[in-house]
């Protein structure tokens, strides 16, 4: 539900803010949620853990429509191939990290917080140093 609501929120916010900068915000929210999971792990509070998971899933969902838009931006004639590659990378990354996820501790949220904060940090750094958001045009502008 939180991911679905995040998609709706991200779609709404895309009308007012440039997507590349919103992706940066979503990634930073993920880093923040993961860090708070690590910090609050000793409390072993279900309410805090669930609130942070909801925050993470909202941010995740909000970026779900923006990421493919930018990934396919400059690949008009190869959009099908680019989309396939994007899908394969999603599944391959998930499969590669399945073992890591399976080895996480289940007593509190520290381990999953490390994973969430770490992966979101990689996403933010990739956005800044590989994608370079300042090079992406404002896609909100309509072309007539």
Taking residue 25's Cβ as centre, other Cβ atoms within 10 Å add up to 15
Global pTM value: 0.87
pLDDT recorded at residue 144: 47
Mean pLDDT in residue range 121-139: 92
Mean pLDDT in residue range 85-114: 91
């Amino acid at each position: 539900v939180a991911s679905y609501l995040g998609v709706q929120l991200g779609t709404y916010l895309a009308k007012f803010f440039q997507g590349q900068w919103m992706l940066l915000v979503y990634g930073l929210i993920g880093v923040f949620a993961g860090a708070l999971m690590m910090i609050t792990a000793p409390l072993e509070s279900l309410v805090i853990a669930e609130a942070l998971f909801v925050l993470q899933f909202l941010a995740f969902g909000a970026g779900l429509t923006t990421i493919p838009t930018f990934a396919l931006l400059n690949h008009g004639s190869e959009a099908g191939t680019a989309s396939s590659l994007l899908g394969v990378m999603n599944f391959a990354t998930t499969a590669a990290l399945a073992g890591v996820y399976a080895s996480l501790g289940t007593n509190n949220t520290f381990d999953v917080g490390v994973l969430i904060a770490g992966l979101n940090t990689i996403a933010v750094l990739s956005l800044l140093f590989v994608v370079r958001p300042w090079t992406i045009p404002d896609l909100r502008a309509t072309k007539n």
